[in-house]
C-alpha cells in the first residue's frame, strides 16, 4: 500500500498508508469523537473544506449504505483514521469506505496515531494541514501549506442554487440551505410538513411570498460572519412567521439580533455532548459539529439563553423574548447520534400552531370591533 503524509501547519508530520482517492489536498484539520456514524459525518456539508479525523480507532467496519447519506456529494477535504477496516460486514453494506472515498474523490490516510494528533489539535487549536503522497520534498509541501489561504465562501459552495420541494401535506416550511443535512428533511417528513428548500442568499420578500407557516435556518460550514447579507433576511422575516435555527442557523439568528460569535479553539464535533436545558435542568446528549459559537457576553436583551453545554458553559440555545423564534447550536436531527433532542421539531410545530391561533384571534377581535362601530 502506498505511503501518504499528513503535514500540520505547526510542522508535525505523520506518515501513514494511503486509501481513498489519489490526490493531494489542503484544509483545516478537525477531529470527531463519535464511535460510529462515519458515513453521516463525511457526507455532512458542515465539514466542507476540512480534513476530518476520527478518534475512534477502527473506522469502516460496517461499510457504506444507501440510507445514511447526509448529502449526495460530500465536500470534506480528507479523512484521517487510525485503522481502516479491510473488510466491511453489515446487512446494509454496499461498498467499503475505501471504495466510497475513491468514488467521491476524497483522499484518506490510515495507520497514524490519531490520539497523538487529537492532543496536538486540542493543545494548539485547529490548523491548516496537507494530505500528500510521498514523493515531493517535505520542504516544498510545507512551503505550499504555509502559502495556502483557505476559502471563506464555504456556504456558497454547498448551498443549493435553486429552490426545490420536499412535498408533504402538513405545515408549509421554508428551509434555508446553508449546507443542510438530509436528516432535517427526514424529521420534517415524519411530521408530514411540506418543505421548500431555498438558497442561502434568498431575500425576506421572496420567502414571505411563498406564504410559509415557518422558516428553518439549517446547519452549514465556516464562519457565520462571512455571509452578512443573510442577517437582513432574518430580520425581515422574524416576527412575521416562526423561526427555528440549527447550528449555523443558530449563529446567524443570534448575529441578526445583535450578538457576536467567536472561533473556538478546537470546536465541538461528536455525538455525546451533554447540554442542559436551563428552564428545567434536563440534560440531553446531543450531536454537535461546529467550530464557532455565540458569545454569551454579547447577547442582547431580546435573546434569552435556553441551553448551555455543561462542560465549557458555551451557549447552546437561545429564544427571542418578543418574537416566535428560537435556535439551538446542536443537531436535534441527530444523524448520527442520540435522539434526545428531536422533540424540538415538535416544539417548532407547536410554536407555529400557537402563533397562527394568536394571529387568528387578533384578526377576529379586530373584525368584531370594526363591525361594532
| Cα–Cα distance for residue pair 3/16, rounded to 1 Å | 6
How far apart CA 368 and CA 201 sit, in angstroms, is 41
Q: Is 331 a catalytic residue?
A: yes
**How crowded is residue 185: how many other Cβ atoms within 10 Å of its Cβ?**
20
| 368/151 Cα distance (integer angstroms) | 57
CA atoms within 13 A on the CB side of 293: 22
Count CA atoms within 13 Å of residue 154 on its CB side. 27
Label residue 45 exposed, middle or buried (CB < 10 Å: 0-12, 13-18, 19+).
buried
DSSP code at position 222: S
190, 197, 187, 186: which is closest to 220 by C-alpha?
197
- Of residues 68, 247, 273, 320, which has the active-site annotation? 247
Name residue, grid cell 520534498. 137
CB 30 within 8 A of CB 114: no
Sheet arrangement for strand 243-246: 164-166, 194-198, 172-176, 214-217, 243-246, 325-328, 315-320, 303-309, 261-277, 283-294
CA separation for the pair 212, 363 (Å, rounded): 18
Tell me, yes or no, if 247 is annotated catalytic: yes
Active site positions, annotated: 247, 331, 333
Amino acid at each position: 500500500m502506498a505511503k501518504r503524509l499528513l503535514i500540520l501547519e505547526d510542522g508535525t508530520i505523520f506518515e501513514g498508508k494511503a486509501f481513498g482517492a489519489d490526490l493531494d489536498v489542503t484544509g483545516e484539520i478537525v477531529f470527531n469523537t463519535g464511535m460510529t456514524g462515519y458515513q453521516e459525518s463525511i457526507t455532512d456539508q458542515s465539514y466542507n473544506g476540512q480534513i476530518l479525523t476520527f478518534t475512534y480507532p477502527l473506522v469502516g467496519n460496517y461499510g457504506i449504505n444507501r440510507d445514511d447519506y447526509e448529502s449526495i456529494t460530500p465536500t470534506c477535504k480528507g479523512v484521517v483514521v487510525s485503522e481502516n477496516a479491510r473488510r466491511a460486514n453489515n446487512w446494509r453494506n454496499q461498498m467499503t469506505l475505501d471504495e466510497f472515498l475513491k468514488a467521491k474523490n476524497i483522499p484518506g490516510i490510515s495507520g497514524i496515531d490519531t490520539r497523538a494528533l487529537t492532543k496536538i489539535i486540542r493543545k494548539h487549536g485547529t490548523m491548516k494541514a496537507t494530505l500528500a503522497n510521498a514523493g515531493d520534498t517535505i520542504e516544498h509541501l510545507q512551503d505550499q501549506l504555509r502559502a495556502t489561504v483557505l476559502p471563506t465562501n464555504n456556504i456558497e459552495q454547498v448551498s443549493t442554487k435553486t429552490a426545490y420541494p420536499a412535498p408533504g401535506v402538513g405545515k408549509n416550511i421554508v428551509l434555508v440551505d446553508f449546507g443542510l443535512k438530509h436528516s432535517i428533511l427526514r424529521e420534517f417528513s415524519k411530521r408530514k410538513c411540506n418543505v421548500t428548500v431555498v438558497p442561502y442568499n434568498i431575500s425576506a420578500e421572496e420567502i414571505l411570498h411563498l406564504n410559509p407557516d415557518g422558516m428553518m435556518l439549517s446547519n452549514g460550514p465556516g464562519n457565520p460572519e462571512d455571509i452578512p447579507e443573510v442577517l437582513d433576511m432574518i430580520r425581515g422575516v422574524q416576527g412575521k412567521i416562526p423561526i427555528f435555527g440549527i447550528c449555523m442557523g443558530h449563529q446567524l439568528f443570534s448575529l441578526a439580533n445583535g450578538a457576536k460569535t467567536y472561533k473556538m479553539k478546537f470546536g465541538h464535533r461528536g455525538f455525546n455532548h451533554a447540554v442542559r436545558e436551563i428552564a428545567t435542568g434536563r440534560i440531553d446528549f446531543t450531536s454537535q459539529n461546529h467550530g464557532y459559537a455565540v458569545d454569551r457576553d454579547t447577547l442582547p436583551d431580546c435573546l434569552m439563553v435556553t441551553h448551555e453545554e455543561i462542560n465549557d458553559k458555551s451557549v447552546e440555545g437561545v429564544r427571542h423574548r418578543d418574537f416566535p423564534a428560537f435556535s439551538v447550536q446542536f443537531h436535534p436531527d441527530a444523524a448520527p447520534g442520540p435522539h434526545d433532542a428531536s422533540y424540538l421539531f415538535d416544539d417548532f410545530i407547536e410554536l407555529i400552531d400557537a402563533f397562527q391561533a394568536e394571529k387568528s384571534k387578533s384578526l377576529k377581535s379586530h373584525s368584531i370591533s370594526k363591525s361594532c362601530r
